[in-house]
Structure 1
Amino acid sequence: MVDATHTKFAAGDRSYFSLIKKEIHRRAIELGIPEKRAAQIDLIVAEITSNLYKYADGGEILLGSFSEGGNPYLEIICIDNGPGIANPGKMMQDGFSTGNTLGHGLGSIKRLSDTFDIYSLTGWGTILLSRVYVSEPAKNTSALTIRPIVLCKPGEETSGDGFFLKTSKDMFKIMLCDGLGHGPEANKAVNEAERNFRVCPDNGPVETLRFLHGPMKKTRGMVANMVCFDLKTKIWTSAGIGNIGVRWLGPNVAKNHMSYNGIVGHNIPNTMNAQEYPGDKYNQVVMASDG
């Protein structure tokens, strides 16, 4: 069943920090992470929440569990509303602090994580990523990285958004969709989309959207965007219906994809054309629903 990939914890109130740490510890043990390593995850969470309290005006922590090459891992993402960090590289150095502390926080998080990344913008805030694997991870030699974040609407137990990936020796195809409304009925719509996406014989984004339109008529319907990458020609093709945002970013490109009006399962245009983008090195494709 397709559902949320991450659990979101509001981290604006210090009184909840211990509960967040306990839940993340429980999930780590449940995933199979050894107790000693889980204790190190406790330290990661403690440093993250400490920084939220000292420097940020609220924020949230996202928790997900995944598997890479048969090796499960826990993923922690912290998003804050703080002032941002002018020089993240300098802040990673032990002993450097702007808050009269020992200055070991970010450096400790990096050392204790198998994978670590940070992005910060002055006046905007900071996003921090930490991953801890059950076993020591193999070096990632892939030229392509695809990572989803799908969340439930606050107050709901299921997500009305869905992210799907289909690969072959010549191409891969990504779909991001949003079932109309939210909650269980929207989740049913994206699960119906996923089942038909898997068996669709066409690789093109327009053909796939048309293939999904029929089966989706028995659901609420959805908005969706399809992105395909041809591994031989190194060309991206994309087509979308409704308000799924897609943006190509890279050293030499910053373009928004223009989708068609309509609802898959209710009304789609008679004429649709895929848009093409070159698969240049270091490019990123960012897809997001309005949620």
Structure 2
Amino acid sequence: MGPLSTGWTTSPHAGESLRVRVEEQSAAAGVRRRITALAERLGFGGERLGQIQLAATEAATNLAKHATQGEMLLRIVRDGGAAALEFVCVDHGPGIADVPVSRTDGYSTSGTLGLGLGSIERLADHSGVYSRPRIGTVLYARFQPPADVPPAPPAAAAMPPIAGLTVTLDGEEECGDAYTARLVDGAVYAMLCDGLGHGPLAARAARAAVRATHEVASPSRPADVLRCVHRRMASTRGGAVAVAAIEPAAGRVRFAGVGNVAAWIVGPERRQGMISVPGIAGAHAERIREHAYALPRGAVVVLHSDGLTGRWRLTDQPGLLGRDPLLIAATVLRDAGSRHDDRSVLAVTTSGWG
């Protein structure tokens, strides 16, 4: 496959991402109402809107009926000028014993999410599921507005190997974390910012970091991108920022960071942390440095804010490394635990491209 280029994949704007806890049957009605509002923003209507409502309601019903600590993220995702509607389900058990069998129409066993899984996958333009018995399940479904659905081949073959998730601190309307990433000529250039604190001022700082990243021509060295971000954030309260260039063909990751955004290279055998310097981008970041790290074949690069702890291990999840980056991001978000803060995670896979 030749080099691919995409637009910037960027975290949702304010009001375009909602988190819904789904632990009772009544929650399904709320999910249906909220995803309808997001779908109508993107121009969905008629039969296609009904299909989205059916898929989201079925997913919520299954979570409430069978799962433990189930929740759904409903959001608009953007890649360049294109937008799509998406829901992501996560839970802490009991998991699905046999995912292929659970896709069979009419299959349902107590303690699984089998009911409706096959229909959700057929209704969605893109979907994925990863599950482990007694651990839990992550599931996503994405719906593209009719004008954005390419004829053929299926869009899944051309989707970039990038996915992220953001969760706003309870009680806040804006997320103080943001990410953006782009695939250019066989390399991914990624940035994640954790605005200092939370709320509107943190969100403003994170948006400034995203804008600055977009202003720097790709490809550029991570240290140069970080310096530009640092200057652009000077009029904000600042934050922690990590910038990475992931280059599978060269077998390396180039990285520069300021503050406490966690950055990991996760291979089949182990995960390796990447080094950030102390400081606050936009305020104190005089010693910006760039480091290069070996990138094992098939590895995943994960960036996440300190709203997540380090208590996660992809090596404990058989087969996950080779899967969709959104399944990986959702698994980290579920397993890492959380602090009283906004949360964000960005995953970049390296299998099958570059």
Tell me whether 1:195 sits opposite 2:206 in the alignment: no
Question: Which moved further from structure 2: 238-247 or 96-105?
Answer: 96-105
Structure 2 counterparts to residues 178-217 of structure 1, below 5 A: 178-200=194-216, 203-217=220-234
Higher relative contact order (CA 8 A, sep 6+): 2
- Measured in 2, the distance between the counterparts of 1:225 and 1:69 equals 21
Contact 1:247 / 1:255 at 8 angstroms: preserved in 2? yes
1:130 aligns with 2:147: no
What TM-score, normalized to structure 1? Answer: 0.86
| Map of 1:90 onto structure 2 | 101
Relative distance call for 1:248 and 1:9 in structure 2 (3 A) is same
Q: Secondary structure at the match of 2:281?
A: coil
Q: Which is further off, 175-184 or 88-97?
A: 88-97
What's the offset of the Cα at 1:102?
A: 12
Question: Which aligned pairs between 1:119-268 and structure 2 lie closer than 5 A?
Answer: 119-135=130-146, 136-137=149-150, 138-142=154-158, 144-166=160-182, 168-169=184-185, 171-200=187-216, 203-230=220-247, 233=250, 235-251=252-268, 254-268=271-285
Q: Note the residue ranges of structure 1 that are not aligned, 5 or more in a row.
A: none
Question: What 5-or-longer segments of structure 2 have no aligned partner?
Answer: 1-10, 308-342, 344-354
2:38 corresponds to: 27
> Judging changes above 3 Å, is the alpha-carbon distance between structure 1 residues 144 and 249 closer, same or farther for their aligned structure 2 residues?
farther
Deviation track 1:179-198 (CA, whole Å, cap 9, x = no partner) reads 10001111121122223223
Equivalents in 2 of 1:80, 1:218: separation in Å? 40
Give the match's secondary structure for 1:36.
Answer: helix
Which residue of structure 2 aligns with residue 283 of structure 1?
Answer: 299
Q: Is the 8 A contact 1:3 1:162 kept in 2?
A: no
SS in 2 for 1:141: helix
1:3, 1:150 within 8 Å by CA — same for their partners in 2? no
- Equivalent-residue separation in structure 2 for 1:69 and 1:180 (angstroms): 27
Q: CA deviation at 1:70?
A: 6.2
Deviations 1:215-237 (A, max 9, x none): 43332111011111348635321
- CA offsets per residue over residues 25-60 of structure 1, 9 Å max, x none? 232233122310111122212221221122112321
For the residue of structure 1 that corresponds to 2:138, the secondary structure is: strand
8 Å contact 1:223–1:243 — kept in the other structure? yes
Cα distance in 2 between the residues matched to 1:221 and 1:102: 43
Q: What is the letter of the counterpart of residue 13 of structure 1?
A: E
Once the two structures are overlaid, the 10-residue window that deviates more, 111-120 or 70-79, is 70-79
Distance 2:113 2:64 in 1: 16
> What's the CA shift for 1:167?
5.7
CA 31–218 in structure 1, closer or farther in 2 if over 3 Å, else same: closer
Q: TM-score, normalized by length of structure 2?
A: 0.72
Question: Matched residues in 1 for 2:113 and 2:135: separation?
Answer: 25
Divergent runs of 4+, >6 A = none
218-227 or 142-151: which moved more? 142-151
Contact map agreement 1:237 1:277 (CA 8 A) in 2:
no
1:77 corresponds to which of 70, 76, 88: 88
Change (3 A) 1:288 1:91: same
CA distance in 2, matches of 1:103, 1:207: 49
AA of the residue aligned to 1:194: V
Shift of 1:250: 3.8
The Cα shift of 1:261 comes to: 2.3
Shift of 1:105: 1.6
Give me the CA root mean square deviation: 3.0
How far apart in 1 are the matches of 2:119 and 2:70?
Answer: 20
Give the counterpart of 2:117 among 97, 106, 117: 106
CA gap of 1:13–1:38, structure 2 versus 1, over 3 A, is same
How far is 1:130 from its partner?
Answer: 0.7
Letter in 2 for 1:94: D
* Per-residue Cα deviation, 1:53-106 (whole angstroms, up to 9, x for no partner): 221123211111235686642111111222122222222223432229995421
Deviations 1:155-201 (A, max 9, x none): 11111111123565575421001010001111121122223223346
Distance in 2 (CA, whole Å) between partners of 1:26 and 1:73 is 13
Report % sequence identity. 32
Matched residues, number: 290
SS in 2 for 1:150: strand
